[in-house]
Amino acid sequence: MKKIYSMLGCLILIGTAAFAQPTLTSSSIPSLGTAITTQEADATPLVEGNSGANQTWNFAGAVPSGNAFISDYISATGTPYAASFPSANLCQRQPDGSGGYAYAYYYSNSSTYELHGLGTVTGGVNVAFIYTNAQTGMQFPATHNSTFSDVFAGSYTINVSGTTITNYRSGSITSLCDGYGTLTTPSGTFTNTLRFKLSQALRDSTVYVGIPIPAAISEFNATTYDWFCTNAGSKLNQFYLSFDTTVSGGIPTYRKSAFYELSVSTGMDEPIPYAMAQASVYPNPASDHAFFVLNNSVQGTATCKLYDVSGRVAKEVTTPMSTTDRFEWMFPIQELATGLYKAHITCQGKQWQATLLKN
């Protein structure tokens, strides 16, 4: 869940030429308006490869599995859980698979990147997971042989049918930048790439008040490899490979997962203000038609503008809108080029936004 780095710098000599090791700085952290499209891959045949200097890691043959998903980075202000995270200055929003969004709240500056908590809907209940001891996600600058360790803790409490459920989380993480070199993924080849090896341990304790259920404890351990390209314009990690073990009720579950970055956009935030309601989209990605789902719509003529990654209006459509708790708008997209789009919907002064990936 958390990625942590510090710094150690030097030069390495190869033959008679000197090459500076790549250095990760805060410029690789997403800023307001960044949108990143990520694809899950079949992790079964993949291995992490070697550590050390001047490595070549080749995952070009990684096979996509499942759908791509989009994470966009917006101001924490105005988001559903903003009041629970007053120190956050950046929010990562991602579809939650049920037509809504999950939110991660961060504090970011030139030297650190901290996770302050999470907000999502579980079983129809809003959950704000607040870290009382924030997760330090990264420290800058970082280069080969950088190490970092941290501990963190947080909790959330919800009430369901007269039952109070509190989940307490504590954990630790250790990170080592164990190599650098050239990375190849299905999206391309990335020079000046750093690999970070993370070892993480989590313990979740869930306490129930109102029903005779004993406290439940789950333990999670993971070894994760993250590859970060330090070239200008690169954001977050280009490849991710994780080996996870979860023990719940004394029964272990093993999982191996992999993801790679499809695209990064930083130019779509300017035309679209973020102080507006969120619309959900399905299917996403879509090929022929996408359905925008708007809550608390109003009576009038609605306009939807789709912006491409350059900020250009790629398509504009109007439709009659009625007042309802849930309004669905089928939007044709057959003629659009493959890529990422921002939707900006307006009607009678009310505004919604959404992010759409066109196959």
pLDDT given for residue 269 in this prediction: 45
How does the average pLDDT of the chain come out, rounded?
84
Domain ranges of the chain: 11-265, 277-358
User: Which CATH code for domain 277-358?
Assistant: 2.60.40.2550
pLDDT given for residue 13 in this prediction: 26
With H, G, I as helix, E, B as strand and everything else as coil, classify residue 324. Answer: coil
Phi, psi (deg, nearest 5) at residue 83: -60, -25
Query: Worst-scoring range by mean pLDDT, 132-146, 206-220, 237-251, 257-271?
Result: 257-271
pLDDT given for residue 2 in this prediction: 32
pLDDT given for residue 75 in this prediction: 85
- Tell whether the torsion through CA atoms of 27, 30, 32 and 37 is positive or negative: positive
pTM score of the predicted model:
0.72
> What pLDDT band is residue 310 in, cutting at 50, 70 and 90?
low
Can you tell me the distance from the alpha carbon of 146 to that of 140, in angstroms, rounded to the nearest whole number?
A: 10
Which of 137, 91, 89, 74 is CA-nearest to residue 111? 137
Phi, psi (deg, nearest 5) at residue 26: -65, -10
Containing H/E element for 152? strand 147-160
Which of 94, 112, 102, 118 is CA-nearest to residue 29? 112
Mean pLDDT of 6-28: 51
pLDDT given for residue 266 in this prediction: 66
DSSP 161-224: TTEEEEEEEEEEEEEEEEEEEEEEETTEEEEEEEEEEEEEEEEEEEEEESS----EEEEEEEEE
Mean pLDDT of 273-288: 74
> What pLDDT band is residue 12 in, cutting at 50, 70 and 90?
very low
Mean pLDDT of 1-16: 26
pLDDT given for residue 119 in this prediction: 95
Query: Worst-scoring range by mean pLDDT, 9-13, 119-123, 132-136, 210-214?
Result: 9-13
Q: Does the pLDDT of residue 96 top 90, yes or no? A: no
Mean pLDDT of 315-342: 89
